[in-house]
Amino acid sequence: MSLLHEMGYTNLAEYPGGVREWIEAGFPIEAAAGSPSREEILAGYASHAETKPVQIAPRVTPALAPARPSAMNRLLDRLESLSFGQLFGSWLGMVVLFGVAFYLLHLVQPALLELGAPLERGPRGLLVALYFSFVCATTIGFGDVVPQGIARGAAMAEAVIALLLFSCVVSKLVSRRQEELTEDIHRITTEHRLGRMQMNLHMVLSELYSVDGDERGLERLEGITMIFASELKAVHDLLFRPQHLPDSVLESLLARVASGLTELANKLERLPEGATCTGPFRATLKQATATAVEICGDCVPRAHAPGVKAAMDRVQQQGMRLSGACDALA
C-alpha cells in the first residue's frame, strides 16, 4: 500500500479482512478448476496463523524485508554524512588527543624515547609528543621519537584510525569533483537529447505532411512511424522521470507529438482500400498508441502548468484516436 502511495496514487484503501473474512462471511469465491475447497483454504489461512508454512498462504518475499545494517555499515554511513571540514577537523582533533595521551602516559611510565633517551617532562615534552602523534598519524615514521611499552599499541591504533579517517577526507574531495562532473555530463546529455528529439519530431511532422497514400507512401509511413514511436517513448520518459524540464520546452514537444499523432491517424484513415500493413508496422503503431494514452495531465507524477496539462490531455486524446484507426486496419 505504501508502495502505491509512493508511486503517487492518492485514492487508496485496504480491505484488511482479506480472502479469509470474505469466505467466513459465506460469500462466493472464484477459483480455478482443481483448487482446494473452501474449508481447505480456510484451514490453510488458519494454519498460517500458527506460523506453519502452507502452500496457498500469502508469501512474503525475503527481498522486501530490509536488511539490518551492521555496526560497520552504520559507522561508514555516519562518516559519509560528515562534511569535508568536519572530517578534517576530527582527524586533527584525533592527532592532538593522541599526542596529549602519549604525554600523559609518559608521565606515568616512560613511553617515548627521543633519540634513545627518555623524553623530558614539561612543555617541550608535550610538543614533542604532539609531533610524534602527527608523524604517527601521517604514517611517516621519521624514527627520531619512538614509542615503547604500551605506547607501541597506542601508536598502532592511532595509525590505523588516522588512515581510515584520512581516506574518508580524500574520498570526500574526489567525490565532490566527480559529482560536479556527473552533473555536467547529465546536463549536456539532456540538452543534446532534447535537441535531437525536437529535430526528429520536426522531421517526422514534415514527412507525415508530405507522404502520399500510394504503396510507396505506405513504406515511408512505416519508416516515419518507427522514428516517431521512439521519440514518443523519449517524451514519455521525460515526463515520468524525475528530471525537471522547463514547461515551455515540454509544451512545444507535446504539441509536436499531438500533431504527429493526429496526422498519423489521418493518414491511416485515408489509406486506400485493400492496403495491407506489415506486422512490425502494426506492432510499432500499437506501441506508440500505448505510450501516448499513458500521457495525460493527471497521469504524470509532477504537477505542470495548465497549458502543459492541456497539451498532455491532447496527446492522450489523439493517442486514443490513433488506437481506433489502428484497430480499423486489423
Q: Choose the binding region for another protein from 48-56, 92-100, 110-118, 171-179 (rule: CB under 8 A).
A: 48-56
State the minimum distance, in angstroms, from the CB of residue 60 to another protein: 9
| Chosen residue from 30, 39, 279, 330 binding another protein by CB under 8 A | 30
For position 28 contacting another protein by CB under 8 A, the verdict is yes
Distances (CA, A) of 274 to 215, 217, 326: 11, 14, 15
**End-to-end alpha carbon distance in the chain:** 39
The smaller minimum CB distance to another protein, of residues 118 and 297, is found at 297
Q: Choose the binding region for another protein from 37-45, 152-160, 187-195, 264-272 (rule: CB under 8 A).
A: 37-45
For position 293 contacting another protein by CB under 8 A, the verdict is yes
Task: Find out whether 137 and 159 touch, Cβ atoms under 8 Å.
Answer: yes
State the minimum distance, in angstroms, from the CB of residue 286 to another protein: 13
Beta-bridged to residue 127, according to DSSP, are none
For position 220 contacting another protein by CB under 8 A, the verdict is no
For position 15 contacting another protein by CB under 8 A, the verdict is yes
Residue 248 and residue 198: Cα distance in Å, rounded?
13
Residue 245, classed as helix, strand or coil, is coil
State the minimum distance, in angstroms, from the CB of residue 24 to another protein: 9
The smaller minimum CB distance to another protein, of residues 28 and 122, is found at 28
Among positions 64-103, residues that touch another protein (CB under 8 A) are 64
Other beta carbons less than 10 A from residue 1's beta carbon? 9
**Strand bridging mode 112-114 / 117-118:** antiparallel
The smaller minimum CB distance to another protein, of residues 26 and 274, is found at 26
Task: Find out whether 300 and 240 touch, Cβ atoms under 8 Å.
Answer: yes
Q: Choose the binding region for another protein from 87-95, 227-235, 288-296, 307-315 (rule: CB under 8 A).
A: 288-296
Residue 296, classed as helix, strand or coil, is coil
| Chosen residue from 16, 242, 274, 279 binding another protein by CB under 8 A | 16
For position 61 contacting another protein by CB under 8 A, the verdict is yes
Residue 252 and residue 122: Cα distance in Å, rounded?
77
Task: Find out whether 115 and 144 touch, Cβ atoms under 8 Å.
Answer: yes
In sequence order, which residues have a C-beta less than 8 Å from that of residue 225 and are 6 or more positions away?
264, 281, 284, 285, 288
Q: Footprint of another protein on this chain (CB under 8 A)? A: 1-4, 7-23, 25, 27-32, 35-36, 38, 41, 45, 48-49, 55-59, 61, 64, 293-294, 296, 298-299, 301
